């Protein structure tokens, strides 16, 4: 019972992170700030949703933990690649 409610809470938090990251696109900040906010919100939201699913479906723990690790690694690497490609030093190498 408590794990089901906690699972829904984490899924709700994940959806809120998705909306938070998306709302940064409407600001007047730089494109890199918008991309950073979007990728952080997407990463945290997706990890929270998968963690909520982990609480709801514990028999699938191996796949869900793999999904959490993959999200953390690949979204971080994508952020580094975008940052490297956006610098002038990266264009001249």
pTM of the model: 0.81
60 closest CA partner among 47, 71, 51, 70: 51
| pLDDT tens-digit series, residues 51-63 | 999 999 989 999 9
3-state secondary structure 11-71: HHHHHHHHHHHHHHHHCCCCHHHHHHHHHHHHHHHHHHHHHHHHHHCHHHHHHHHHHHHHH
Binned at pLDDT 50, 70 and 90, residue 2 comes out as confident
Greater confidence, 45 or 39?
Answer: 45
Residue 91 has pLDDT above 60, yes or no: no
Cβ atoms of 50 and 64 within 8 Å: the answer is yes
């Amino acid at each position: 019972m408590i794990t089901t409610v906690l699972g829904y809470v984490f899924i709700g938090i994940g959806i809120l992170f998705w909306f938070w990251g998306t709302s940064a696109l409407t600001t007047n900040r730089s494109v890199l700030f918008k991309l950073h906010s979007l990728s952080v919100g997407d990463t945290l939201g997706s990890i929270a949703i998968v963690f909520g699913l982990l609480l709801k479906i514990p028999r699938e723990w191996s796949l869900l933990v793999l999904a959490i690790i993959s999200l953390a690694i690949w979204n971080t690497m994508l952020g580094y690649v975008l940052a490297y490609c956006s610098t002038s030093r990266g264009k001249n190498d």
